[in-house]
């Protein structure tokens, strides 16, 4: 049977519709009573198997349990393993089943989704393991698409994908929210867009986006950067190409105590001057910036006390966050420097223009202009 999860699902909304359609087909399918021994129970997304207490509670309830769901071609149980175990505990040899006719890929996806939404929910480890499985079976899916199936946040899935990228091959492009496939690394697309802008100044943003394989918003950013005389690839994108392990080595091999803390403390007068600047104090962006610097200054003053009081299980998470925010701030600083250079260049150009105009005037016009 054709694999619909690869042929028709090309966006998050399409994935949700596909799963919903499968559920509707299952709910309207005929209920059959089949021997339990004829069903395959392997391949469950539960790493530790079924919960014995939950199985016992179902068996002792005396209630008529709803039919389980199984894949007709393979006879593999998709949803209802606890009910099946409860039936066995009751001494039953047959069980009511609703069959569905989807693909093999659908079996695992529906099993994870069903166990994430009702009954005894999957544990956090079960969901993470399911996400890793989908990285292998559907590597072209975006983080948000995987998150829909396993019931975790897109940010959590993105972090997991980064950790497993070294031993699970990843494609160079992924399917996004709008169903379009875009490269994971936008550097090549930005460089191609820069070539198009340079060679065809009147080219439209849509045409740039189509030929470079990037979004129109990215195409607009590339065009604006070239007009300002900046690199079409932001510092943040260039740095993100480094593997996380490499970034960790750079941090661990440095000595942050002496090289960093002393200059930061010496910059305290600069911070005091910024705090007095009305253009920062009376704007939301300025106040946000001042609060950020104040928090950083507090960390510098009390970093030893903070490190000693942090519980051991939080150290890795705090280190990862600190590294990530440090990279963001480094990129932010580099972009500010580029902006300052751009402003300075405009100022010099204006001065040269005024001087050139002055030189072009005859002596009488100069006296009048003076």
Note whether 68 and 150 are same-domain residues: yes
10 Å Cβ neighbour count for 271?
14
Whether residue 146 contacts residue 126, with contact meaning beta carbons closer than 8 Å, is answered with no
Whether residue 43 contacts residue 110, with contact meaning beta carbons closer than 8 Å, is answered with no
CA dihedral 347, 353, 358, 361 (to 10 degrees): -160
d(CA 261, CA 145): 42
d(CA 186, CA 214): 7
Q: Is residue 23 part of a domain?
A: yes
Q: Name beta bridge partners: 182.
A: 174
Range of the domain at 109: 4-175
Tell me the pLDDT band of 259, cut-offs 50, 70 and 90: very low
DSSP-assigned states of every residue in 66-121? PPEEEETTTTEEEE-HHHHHHHHHTT-SEEEEEEE---HHHHHHHHHHHHHHSSSP
Whether residue 105 contacts residue 137, with contact meaning beta carbons closer than 8 Å, is answered with yes
Residue ranges in the chain assigned as alpha helix (H) = 4-7, 12-27, 52-61, 81-89, 104-117, 124-137, 143-150, 154-164, 187-199, 205-212, 216-227, 235-240, 244-253, 262-266, 268-275, 278-281, 284-301, 303-309, 315-360, 363-369
Query: What pLDDT score was predicted for residue 209?
Result: 84
The pLDDT tens digits for 175-197 are 665 566 666 667 878 888 899 99
Q: Is residue 171 part of a domain?
A: yes
| Residue-level length of the chain | 370
Q: Is residue 108 part of a domain?
A: yes
Note whether 12 and 115 are same-domain residues: yes
Instruction: Tell me how many degrees the CA angle 303-306-310 measures, rounded to the nearest 5.
Output: 145
What percentage of the chain has pLDDT greater than the value 90? 19
Note whether 166 and 219 are same-domain residues: no
Tell me the pLDDT band of 352, cut-offs 50, 70 and 90: low
Locus of tokens 């100044």: 201
Q: Is residue 79 part of a domain?
A: yes
> What does DSSP assign to residue 63?
P
Number of domains the chain is built from: 2
The pLDDT tens digits for 163-176 are 887 777 666 667 66
Give the mean pLDDT of the chain: 77
Q: Is residue 238 part of a domain?
A: no
Tell me the pLDDT band of 31, cut-offs 50, 70 and 90: very high
Note whether 130 and 158 are same-domain residues: yes
Note whether 54 and 202 are same-domain residues: no
Whether residue 184 contacts residue 172, with contact meaning beta carbons closer than 8 Å, is answered with yes
Q: Is residue 110 part of a domain?
A: yes
Note whether 73 and 196 are same-domain residues: no
Q: Is the pLDDT of residue 246 over 70?
A: no
Of 80, 178, 181, the C-alpha closest to 138 is 181
DSSP-assigned states of every residue in 158-177? HHHHHHHTTTS---SEEE-T
65-100: b (≥16 Cβ within 10 Å) or e: bebbbbbeeeebbbbbbbbbbbbeeeeeeebbbbbb
- Mean per-residue pLDDT, 237-263: 45
Note whether 201 and 160 are same-domain residues: no
Note whether 37 and 105 are same-domain residues: yes
Q: Is residue 111 part of a domain?
A: yes
What percentage of the chain has pLDDT greater than the value 70? 75
Whether residue 132 contacts residue 160, with contact meaning beta carbons closer than 8 Å, is answered with yes
Q: Is residue 288 part of a domain?
A: no
The tally of CA atoms less than 13 A away on the side-chain side of residue 170 is 21
Of 249, 243, 251, the C-alpha closest to 166 is 243
Query: What pLDDT score was predicted for residue 286?
Result: 85
The pLDDT tens digits for 283-316 are 888 888 888 888 887 887 777 788 888 887 777 7
Note whether 34 and 142 are same-domain residues: yes
Instruction: Tell me how many degrees the CA angle 246-248-251 measures, rounded to the nearest 5.
Output: 115
Note whether 72 and 93 are same-domain residues: yes
Q: Is the pLDDT of residue 253 over 70?
A: no
Q: Is the pLDDT of residue 8 over 50?
A: no
Domain limit, last residue, from 233, 265, 300? 233
Q: Of 65-69, 262-266, 303-307, where does mean pLDDT reach its minimum? A: 262-266
d(CA 164, CA 145): 17
Note whether 169 and 24 are same-domain residues: yes
Note whether 84 and 194 are same-domain residues: no
> Taking the CA atoms of the chain, what radius of gyration do you get in angstroms?
30
Q: Name beta bridge partners: 114.
A: none
Question: Which two three-digit tokens encode residue 44?
Answer: 């469950």
Tell me the pLDDT band of 151, cut-offs 50, 70 and 90: confident
Domain limit, last residue, from 153, 175, 197? 175
Whether residue 338 contacts residue 238, with contact meaning beta carbons closer than 8 Å, is answered with no
- Mean per-residue pLDDT, 29-49: 92
Q: Is the pLDDT of residue 37 over 90?
A: yes
Residue 35: its H or E element: strand 31-35
Q: Of 146-155, 246-255, 304-313, 323-332, where does mean pLDDT reach its minimum? A: 246-255
């Amino acid at each position: 049977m054709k694999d619909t999860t690869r042929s028709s699902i090309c966006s998050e909304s399409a994935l949700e519709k596909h799963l919903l359609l499968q559920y509707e087909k299952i709910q309207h399918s005929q209920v059959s009573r089949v021997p339990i021994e004829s069903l395959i129970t392997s391949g469950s997304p539960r790493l530790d198997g079924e919960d014995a207490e939950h199985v016992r509670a179902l068996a002792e309830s005396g209630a008529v349990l709803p039919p389980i769901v199984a894949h007709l071609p393979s006879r593999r149980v998709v949803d209802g393993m606890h009910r099946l175990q409860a039936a066995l505990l009751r001494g039953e040899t047959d069980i009511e089943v609703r069959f569905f006719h989807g693909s093999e890929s659908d079996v695992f996806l529906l099993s994870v989704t069903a166990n994430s939404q009702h009954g005894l929910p999957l544990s956090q480890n079960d969901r993470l393991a399911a996400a890793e499985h989908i990285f292998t079976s559907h590597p072209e899916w975006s983080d948000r698409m995987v998150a829909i199936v396993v019931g975790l946040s897109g940010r959590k899935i993105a972090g997991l994908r980064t950790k497993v990228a070294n031993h699970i091959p990843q494609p160079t492009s992924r399917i996004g929210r709008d169903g379009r496939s875009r490269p994971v690394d936008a550097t090549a697309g930005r460089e191609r867009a820069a070539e198009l802008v340079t060679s065809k100044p009147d080219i439209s943003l849509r045409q740039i986006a189509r030929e470079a394989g990037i979004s129109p918003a990215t195409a607009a950013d590339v065009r604006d950067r070239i007009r300002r005389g900046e690199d079409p690839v932001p510092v943040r994108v260039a740095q993100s190409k480094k593997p996380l392990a490499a970034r960790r080595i750079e941090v661990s091999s440095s000595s942050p105590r002496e090289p960093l803390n002393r200059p930061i403390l010496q910059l305290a007068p600069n911070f005091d001057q910024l705090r007095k600047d009305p253009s920062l104090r009376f704007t939301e962006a300025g106040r946000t910036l001042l609060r950020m610097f104040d928090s950083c200054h507090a960390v510098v003053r009390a970093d030893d006390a903070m490190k000693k009081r942090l519980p051991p299980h939080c150290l890795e998470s705090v280190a990862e966050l600190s590294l990530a925010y440090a990279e963001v701030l480094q990129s932010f600083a580099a972009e500010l420097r580029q902006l300052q250079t751009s402003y300075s260049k405009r100022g010099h150009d204006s001065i040269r223009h005024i001087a050139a105009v002055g030189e072009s005037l005859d002596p009488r016009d100069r006296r009048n202009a003076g």
